[in-house]
Chains A and B, each alone.
Chain A
Amino acid sequence: MEFAELIKTPRADNVVLHRPFYPAVEGTLCLTGHHLIFSSRRQDNAEELWLLHSNIDSIEKRFMGSLGTIIIKCKDLRIIQLDIPGMEESLNIASSIEALSTLDSVTLMYPFFYRPMFEIIEDGWRLFLPDQEFELLSSVTDEWRLSCVNKEFTVCPSYPPVVIVPKSIDDEALRKVATFRHGSRFPVLSYYHKKNGMVMMRSSQPLTGTNGRRCKEDEKLINATLRPGKRGYIIDTRSLNVAQQARAKGGGFEQEAHYPQWRRIHKCIERFNILQESLIKLVEACNDQSHNMDRWLSKLEASNWLTHIKEILTAACLAAQCIDREGASVLVHGTEGTDSTLQVTSLAQIILDPRCRTIRGFESLVVREWLQAGHPFQQRCAQSAYSNSKQKWEAPVFLLFLDCVWQILRQFPCSFEFNEQFLIMLFEHAYASQFGTFLGNNENERSKLKLPQKTMSLWSWVNRSEELSKFRNPLFEANSLVIWPSVAPQSLQLWEGVFLRWNRSSKFLDEAQEEMINIINYNKELQAKVNALRRQLAEMETDDKMLKNL
């Protein structure tokens, strides 16, 4: 298919662009296969707006005589308005945008066409391979092994080709366990707590069904992670009711009788459309320009967004607490093991492991616990808060995770190497990007699409020092401790950087950015000064000593 077929009017002049907090600008609008480009042709300060079609969540069109108005709502929650003279032009442009922003085929997406303008120092696709992760692990324990049982994605389509499992369990047993778990997602290692050797595993629900099926290999597999005489915890991210109902559909949960060494704790993390609706309500509330305090708080509460944040954080804290405080191993699962399970396992690692609070470590966490673990990004992030279509697989699961990370980051402002901008950047790229990282639903799809060969990795771009400098937290001070966030509702806040981002003058934000860079530079100056003074002091002290010795 040629993009040209979809673009009947590639260009329109005298278009007026309206954005909140900016004066309206007149200019030329161009449509390309992947971008909507607006350029104000003013001599003095030409302004250009490039918008990826894939970033467009929904559009609305209106007519006033022959003047067409298109309101574009983006997945990054921005809203812009274009006034286009001429009925036909506006109709053409609107239908082109609609078609181009809802392309069916992944291979037509921009990442397949994007050619980087920067030099690639490190290929992001090769950065976080399971082998490297395993190497780190085997330096502290030899109880685990890399299994290639899923080499051709034959055992579990949503798992990566290699996974880490207990050494004592062979591939044959793994195949059997896979038949007992939803979507074949058998328990695999998620995190090893070096401090006490406890582990966190994740899987999907066991397929016990109504007649209480059991699987000896499954029991053996998870028991293999326990120390003699020790107990473990199974954190089920569903409420007991939901878990019971799942049995009717062939799912279920680990029964006490068959897993006597495990205690099960049910948490209640919502899924799919409930989350999606929550996001829609929240964004509606944030975009409401009436300044009534009363309505604001009710709307905020009614959206339930912060309740979801609290539930997820609580479950993650609980998992971390079991591992660090109770000295017990943990297995986390919900139904499919691709959404709430990953929220819990990844957040628990941020709480427990200082490495995950560094930039590299966090990238590695996103790769391990989200991309390789098979979170269906393509499905979940197909639409954002302005979507009209109510597909049941869209859900802001990853955004909720990022929000939780932001909550912890806000509570521990010095313990993270990255800043809020880094999280916002990940949010944007998960929904629309020139990079291939977040395309596809799992490693299987990614390898079929040949993404590593045909597209650029987000990490190749981010990890260059020019970009990194924007994402560094100047206050970072490596904190080797476990950090316990407060989950009290009073401690949780709305993530203004995402949800109120476009409702404020961005000039203000630009300045904040500039101010921040100033502070970082000032900080560097100070550090340099400190170092210089230290050196001078040391020199003087040695001089002193020499004088005394004389």
Chain B
Amino acid sequence: MLGSGAKATKPSFVSYISPEEIHIKEPVEKEVNLHLLPGELLLCEANTVYKYIQEDGSNRGTCGKLVCTNFKIAFLNDDSASDDNDPQFKNKIVGENDITLQCVDQIYGVYDEKKKLLTGQLKKYPEKLIIYCKDLRVFNFCLRYTKEEEVKRIVSGIVHHSQTPKLLKRLFLFSYASAAPNNTEGRNETVMFDTFEDWRDELERTKGHVKYKVVTTNEGYRVSEKLPLYFVVPICVSEESIVKYEGRGIPIWCFSCHNGAALLKMSTFPKEQDDSTSQMQKAFLDGIYKTISKPPYELLKTEDLSSSLPSLQDIQTAYTKFKQLFLIDNSTDFWATDVKWFSLLESTNWLEIIRRVLKKAIEVAEYLERQHTNVLLIEESATDLCCVISSLVQVMMDSYSRTKLGFQSLIQKEWVIGGHRFLDRCNHLHKSDKEEAPVFLLLLNCVWQLVQQYPPAFEFTETYLTVLSDSLYVPIFSTFFFNTQHQRDTSTSGEILQSQSSPFRFLTVWDWSVQFDCKAQAFLNNPIYAEKPKPDKTQRKNTRFKHQRQLSLPLTQAKSSTKRGFFREETDHLIKNILGKRIGKFINSSDEPPNSFREFYDSWHSKPVDYHGLLLPRIDGPEIKVWAQRYLRWIPEAQIQGGGTIATATKILDLIEEVKSLQVKMDEKHSQAISGDVHSVPMLRSSARLSSLFPFALLQRQSIKPALPTSTWKDLEDEDDLVKRDDEFVDLSGDI
């Protein structure tokens, strides 16, 4: 997979095992039940298929049945051993050996040791099937012992259902929704932004309602199918102007920050051949700019994202290269990347793209926070990089977006309702490869950088981000399977399936109980989140007053106190003070700096971090890291048994849990209610047993073994030959 270039270089780490050596377990004839979801249909199956995995340096094969349904490809094995050791973090919908059809990235067939990409019609059927998944799992299936007709059926079935273009209505989403019509939307507090009230409340929350209004112009999608039903524009923008160009050229509100400056986005006009049309458009835009630059609106800074950020193609190319580093067939390949790891990583350009996006977000934050300037993001459709930047800016500036609910609402607002074309960008329907680009994944990657730099600032964990990225490919949730709100609404109302009498009720991904039970959901919450203390109303007024006074006072070089505590109430108050000073300083110096970004960045980083205030990512080269949990989780060689950050987390959790459970026990005693045992802790007790890739490291449950490919005597035989040869050489030279 890494190309011949990488293989030609001499790996410094030698693996002595040939990948073909398979230890096959005797097949036990035992019927294994295929668990089907409502609306899921078995399409084809094949028996005596071997799935083999690398374990401890050699291949281990498990015999089982490979099936393909309209939802997933599944391998059913009769390995009952796995049942004893039930993983704690289990997805209820997609099992360890399940691949949803949308999760399949590429399928390769192996013919006489040669790998060939499988697409569309097949003439010859392979003896081995390698499935690369979008969540970076790699499955190896050996079909050598399978009946020929079954091979034909399963291979063409899998290729057809996962790799060929599809109609929207053939998505499993619809079969599921119609077969399980009683799916009442679970209690879900995420703001969905599909009603007028949701937008109005958001405006009020951010205090944007003074200068911005929710418009109902697009009710019934009268103006445009690309626009959401409800959205927010500056009060001075008239309905006529929205209607005039179907919402193009209209600044749409994203977010107002605490000082009143707002982040806006706008989709541009397509390039017009006709001069007079473009003149008119220009005049229209000028008019718009003029109205929204006048008081009460702040100064306006426009930011054309298509010129200042990498294109969608660049992003797609970079990610395609990047993911290849992790789609590893066997450990030989893994160690082969060893010497060149950093240059390979660098040549993908993916981390550089992340850095550039983060940098852009900091620049935007600087305009809003320090220069009190409105920022207008401009992009052709305003639904790709606009979403990335506006979401990132909100995560950085608005601590509410760092809570789970807040983040989910943000994704609803900017992406789902905002009109990010998930269907096209994820290429769920295999309509056009050109439209594919991992834009949403780019956002998650950027947010992850922030999460790992400032863990206490986020209510959710990196595991949350990882499972969210996995959910992109689970077609039972409507969240990531429509291009626009319009498309979703029209599909729901039963226009596509006429037979359906009542409208579908799609599931939302935010109902995490669909995928995870309570225990597993605990992994999504950050135990060391520094929760925001409930602010006292009077205090809040005071600080605001101080805040204003600070602005008019000359800058004092008072030393900011560094006293700060994890769990302390007074922090909030103190930080607000500091924040006030910070603003004061900026105002004073806003005249001169040519490199205001750098100064803003440095100045912020020289101050103590307020986990509830503005949060700027560190973007120096060494700070941008690879999201190990998402990308390395299926690679056993990269695991640290009994180590990693999870060890720290477990230790802290255990301590908290112990105090809690003792408290519970105490309370029980006090109330004389003598009951059973205190329920057990969701984590395994001893951190020594967990792997760094927890909760995903499912492949190596057996024992703790070193990940050095030199573990058997056999390995050293080769070495031995080398030694012998050398000794012969010695003797010869002695004779001479």
Question: A-side interface residues toward B, CB under 8 Å?
Answer: 21, 45, 210-212, 240, 244, 255-257, 263-265, 268, 286, 291-298, 300-301, 306-307, 310-311, 314, 317-318, 320-321, 325-326, 411-415, 475, 477, 479, 481, 483-491, 494, 496, 500, 504-505, 507-508, 510-511, 514-515, 518-519, 522-523, 526-527, 529-530, 533-534, 536-537, 540, 544
Contact = CB atoms under 8 A, between A and B. Distances in A.
Given A265-B716, A412-B640, A415-B688, 17 more contacts: A21-B606, A45-B559, A255-B727, A263-B716, A263-B723, A297-B346, A297-B621, A321-B711, A326-B713, A412-B642, A415-B643, A484-B707, A488-B707, A489-B342, A508-B605, A534-B662, A544-B674
Given A481-B704, A489-B338, A507-B562, A413 B727 contact: no
Contact of A526 (B605, B622, B650, B655): B655
B730 A212 contact: yes
Q: Report, nearest first, the 4 A-B pairs whose CB atoms are least far apart.
A: A296-B621, A301-B342, A489-B341, A412-B643
A82 B565 CA distance: 36
A307 B339 CA distance: 8
B624 interface: yes
B733 A479 contact: no
A459 to B, nearest CB: 28
A240 B624 contact: no
Interface of B: 12-13, 334, 337-339, 341-343, 345-346, 349, 351-352, 355, 559, 562, 564-567, 605-608, 619-622, 624, 626, 628, 632, 635, 637-645, 647-648, 650-652, 655-656, 658-659, 662-663, 665-666, 669, 674, 687-688, 692, 704-708, 710-711, 713, 716, 719-720, 722-724, 726-727, 730-731, 733-734
A526 B724 contact: no
Nearest to A475: B651
Given A484-B705, A518-B566, A293 B637 contact: no
A497 B688 CA distance: 25
Contact of B704 (A484, A526, A540): A484
B421 to A, nearest CB: 29
Secondary structure of the A side of the interface?
A: helix
A263 B628 contact: no
Contacts of A210: 733-734
B341 A537 contact: no
B648 A413 contact: yes
Contact of A533 (B663, B692, B704, B724): B663
26 contacts: A21-B606, A210-B734, A212-B734, A256-B724, A293-B621, A297-B342, A297-B343, A300-B621, A300-B622, A301-B341, A301-B343, A301-B346, A412-B640, A412-B643, A413-B647, A481-B688, A484-B707, A485-B643, A486-B643, A487-B13, A487-B707, A490-B341, A508-B608, A510-B562, A514-B564, A536-B666
B626 A318 contact: no
A533 B733 contact: no
Contacts of A45: 559
A515 B642 contact: no
B687 A414 contact: yes
Given A479-B642, A490-B632, A533-B663, A317 B708 contact: yes
B704 A514 contact: no
A455 B49 CA distance: 73
Given A297-B621, A477-B687, A485-B640, A505 B605 contact: yes
B722 A240 contact: yes
Given A268-B12, A297-B621, A533-B659, A486 B637 contact: yes
A192 B330 CA distance: 36
A255 B727 CA distance: 6
A21 B346 CA distance: 29
A523 B648 CA distance: 13
B342 A298 contact: yes
Contacts of B637: 486, 488
A530 B345 CA distance: 47
A507 to B, nearest CB: 6
Given A298-B342, A488-B638, A515-B566, A530 B707 contact: no
A534 B669 CA distance: 13
Contact of A537 (B624, B666, B723): B666
Task: Select the residue from A212, A296, A314, A534 with max chain B CB neighbours within 10 A.
Answer: A296
Contacts of A321: 706, 708, 710-711
Contacts of B351: 293, 297
B699 to A, nearest CB: 14
B566 A522 contact: yes
Contacts of B655: 523, 526-527, 530
Contacts of A294: 346, 349, 352
A510 B352 CA distance: 30
Nearest to A351: B706
A467 B437 CA distance: 54
Given A301-B343, A414-B651, A530-B659, A325 B711 contact: yes
Nearest to B353: A293
A477 B648 CA distance: 10
B669 A537 contact: yes
Nearest to B726: A240
A34 B632 CA distance: 50
Contacts of B619: 291
B453 to A, nearest CB: 12
B706 A317 contact: yes
Contacts of A536: 666
Contacts of A483: 642-643
B641 A256 contact: no
Nearest to B342: A301
B91 to A, nearest CB: 24
B726 A481 contact: no
Given A295-B621, A526-B655, A487 B708 contact: yes
Given A300-B342, A481-B688, A533-B666, A488 B352 contact: no
B669 A540 contact: yes
B13 A314 contact: yes
A301 B692 CA distance: 24
Contacts of A257: 727
B708 A411 contact: no
A406 to B, nearest CB: 13
A362 to B, nearest CB: 18
B334 A475 contact: no
A518 B564 CA distance: 9
A445 B125 CA distance: 74
A530 B608 contact: no
Contacts of B716: 263, 265
B659 A526 contact: yes
Contacts of A527: 655
B342 A265 contact: no
Nearest to B661: A533
Contacts of A325: 706, 711
A414 B647 contact: yes
A545 to B, nearest CB: 12
A410 B655 CA distance: 20
Given A212-B734, A296-B622, A507-B562, A491 B13 contact: no
Contacts of B345: 297
Contacts of B713: 326
Nearest to A22: B606
A411 B666 contact: no
B622 A530 contact: no
Nearest to A521: B565
Contact of A411 (B608, B620, B622, B692): B692
Task: Select the residue from B639, B651, B713 with max chain A CB neighbours within 10 A.
Answer: B651
Contacts of B663: 533
Contacts of B624: 293
A144 B342 CA distance: 47
B620 A508 contact: no
Contacts of B644: 411, 413
A172 B351 CA distance: 63
A486 B733 contact: no
A489 to B, nearest CB: 4
A488 B708 CA distance: 9
Nearest to B646: A413
